[in-house]
Amino acid sequence: MLRLFLFDLRRRFAASERSLRSAAIRDLAAIPAELRADMGLSDARLVDHADRQARSLTAARHARNAQALLDVLNRIARKRGFPRLRWRSEEM
């Protein structure tokens, strides 16, 4: 149960997609305007790129969280004598 509590705390204090997006925009905005123009990065493309990056990081975090939760639940199940848990996506 302590592992579940720690898992929940880690999830609760993780950066939100909004803050990840803001950080990506800050990083990309640090590129000098002349260089951005040479790279073909208009302001709109800059924001689109930041959105994609934030969504990608969020999706990766969700996958890590799902695996971590499954690991914690497997430990609990095994300690109680149940067989190993298996994840099956709804899409299958």
pLDDT tens digits along 41-77: 777 888 888 888 888 988 898 888 888 888 888 988 8
Domain hosting 69: range is 2-10+17-79
Structural domain tally of the chain?
1
Instruction: Report yes or no on 34 lying in a domain.
Output: yes
Instruction: Report yes or no on 86 lying in a domain.
Output: no
Rounded Cα gap, residues 88 and 77, in angstroms: 17
Write phi, then psi, for 35 (nearest 5 degrees). -70, -40
pLDDT, the chain, mean:
82
Instruction: Report yes or no on 85 lying in a domain.
Output: no
Instruction: Report yes or no on 84 lying in a domain.
Output: no
Indicate whether this model's pTM tops 0.95.
no
User: DSSP letter at 1?
Assistant: -
